[in-house]
Chains A and B, each alone.
Chain A
């Protein structure tokens, strides 16, 4: 630890740190005092009222305050450990998918075996969180756990977990159940059990970290020097990871998802002057405890009467976005020039013939979707009069799903080409969720809304989210990393808004939920034409820009030297990608992973020229979604499963396959 201090920058004098610490401490004390003083009192006859006031104070208010401190400290410690062990300033239980993995595991446990969930909630949550984080790390392994890639992978895994959770809830027909499922943990307590189960874990976690600090400092050295210390280093990393996941999953199992606290705590610790690993380790839990405590006091103070303003977990999620933005300048841009082209195998000999074949396959899928399907009289091939009868139902769906798939394929192609990151996709750009935030606001304002208002509010939300991102990333000439991180930050803010409304469990939640699950069964002629016209108007012009796609991935310097205006061309492409994403998320919801998968396959098949890759991405995107839509309506006929499930079912295995493939290449 001393060695570390001498290696890094010299310590700042303490007084500089005094101000934020004192301010935070004062704010906490003040908020709690106000909470105690202003808390609503029970009315009624004095004797009973006194007893009840005491119950509220001792069995609810105080355990809630303590669990805020304990949960905050645990998440702060988990965040500090994760950031250290992964050497990633934006690692945290939410960005790594731990919280949503744990939440999905809990949902599944509850669905399949209520008793099992009752007995070993913590174990279930731990397993879910661990699987999620291992997937995230595996996804980003090949890029040396580069922070941006880790964050994107975390986003993808979180999205798959969320889509599965939503599907299971919808499949059980429960539109508004336990509040904690919506990524909005709440700290309400009515006894000390939560504290009793969580506090010892924090103590043990703190104890373990204390012993791990020293070897952890070795990790702060270069990987090469660390490697010379032997294999033990990997074991140590893994143990630390386990401790962090265990802490975060325990919190999720006890109070639900408290988003981004693990991100906030270490940054705050550094703001308060913590410099060495030891200092950060010691300060981050305190900072986390203070932040969660303060947030929780505020949501209680601002809520009417005895109720809270918003679930505390959703309130902290609002912190996440701004924090990520604040941390942006600290991210070292790796400026990876290579595209996902690295993953491309041998060049295909006859790309045009291949494309024709793929289009043929798409037509075949369309034909299947239009003709084959179950009816009340069993499976049948629709012919003649029956075909004509069913066409009005099947054609708009196929058209909407197909055009949404094509739009997502094209948007994903733009994102991956421009950022040079094969994990970039329109879903993580923050634009789909920005559209969701727009929808949320429209629901709050109007109550019930028509499809046109829905599309309008979503487009406005998507564009605002997008403009905000551009404004943030513009300072670095829209560099790929900045753009992706800004996208994740915007996504975090939008999701916080959506969770707050979802947590209300009322009819608006129902509308949001159906949108999230992505239901193509709503597609009528309006949706079909919206999709088709957008596909023609937005995706076709991209073929004219093929020169940009060849040059932009080569990096700003080179692009400028060949006479390309970097800013305007990036901006044009970004706007196109944003609008295409907004429209497709109106059609099929925000969770389909088509924009991630569709642009990959053409590269793997061996298309090298941008035009071929783009065409391939559009055709494959359309095929995936039309196929998924067909599956979603035949698999448990007459019930129709939300397409989100199939996105996860297709996307998940594909990502795993991609991983194993890359491992072999190494």
Chain B
């Protein structure tokens, strides 16, 4: 396994150290108290320095999305599927931001505070564009100039990364998340990661069908159909699945594996907004750059 991923550990370290706009704003909080159930909105709010008082499933968020840092002062509302509204009531938010995903909660939460909706994931629409719109809207609503800066910084960063990546091998990139040893989810062109890939000037190796959420359950044998690609593994994945897969003959016969074209990134929230997009772009660019330059 370690021979298959010469870069993974270094990658994780550099990934964690990479500077993101979010962390630096974590302690400059003022303005209206805001709360949200949606992870994409939550990371946006954190990144623009909003005064976030409650979010959902923070334990899981810290593991899956990793960044931005969620301050300990933010109340954990529990599972996204069944948030604790009594607790939300006790933290007394001034405004609650919600997405189409938790639309059912609108009438319940509007009794606590005004609810405003912004959606990042809609069937048939670009999540990157929607995330940009949502970020700017949130910035305007909360009067945080950081929002505009976040959008511009990210565009600039993607541009810079893109320039760096143009020096590379021009191979297509396959973005996958292992489900078990025999299946993976793939991020197609309509996913957030897929869009970032396109903005970085890279080619997505997955051209097949994806459902609107931009993922599908695919058998690992299909990896053989993309011999030219870089295989980029995006955690979290079950440990035993990765072990079983990487020990198999099939895996080790794959050209990307034999030619050391496998990258494991740090964990990124696949349903994130601009901060997740930025984190993904940073991790990917650094990983590829390291691989190309040795």
Contacts and interface: CB of A to CB of B under 8 A. Distances in A.
Interface string B211-223: 1111111111110
A110 B180 CA distance: 12
A367 B28 CA distance: 44
Contacts of B249: 59, 191
A48 interface: yes
Contacts of B212: 447, 506
Interface stretch (A170-178, A223-231, A570-578, A655-663): A170-178
Contacts of A513: 81
A491 interface: no
Q: Is the interface of B mostly helix, strand, loop or mixed?
A: mixed
A608 B101 CA distance: 49
A215 interface: no
Interface string B170-205: 000000000111110100000000000000000000
Interface stretch (A139-147, A276-284, A385-393): A385-393
B104 interface: yes
B81 A170 contact: yes
B35 interface: no
Contact of A510 (B81, B214, B219): B81
Nearest to B251: A190
Contacts, number: 193
B71 interface: no
B217 A525 contact: no
Contacts of A642: 81-82
Interface string B82-93: 111111011100
B77 interface: yes
Contact of B79 (A61, A114, A450, A640): A640
Interface string A174-215: 001111100000101111010000000000000000000000
* Residue of B59, B78, B101 contacting most chain A CB atoms (<10 Å): B78
A639 B84 contact: yes
B52 to A, nearest CB: 16
B148 interface: no
Interface stretch (A73-81, A305-313, A421-429, A619-627): A305-313
B294 interface: no
Nearest to B214: A506
A178 B81 contact: no
A307 B209 contact: yes
B104 A42 contact: no
B75 A178 contact: no
A179 B181 CA distance: 11
Given A178-B183, A522-B108, 15 more contacts: A42-B227, A44-B227, A55-B250, A176-B179, A177-B179, A190-B251, A305-B209, A393-B86, A393-B89, A448-B100, A504-B211, A506-B213, A507-B213, A513-B81, A517-B81
Nearest to B221: A60
B218 A637 contact: no
Contacts of A117: 240
A139 to B, nearest CB: 31
Contacts of B77: 638
B18 interface: no
CB-based closest 5 A-B pairs:
A188-B219, A60-B221, A506-B213, A173-B60, A190-B250
Interface string B47-91: 000000000010110000000000000011111011111110111
Contacts of A186: 182-183, 217, 219
A521 B56 CA distance: 14
A514 B221 contact: no
Interface in A472-525: 503-508, 510, 513-514, 517, 519-522, 524-525
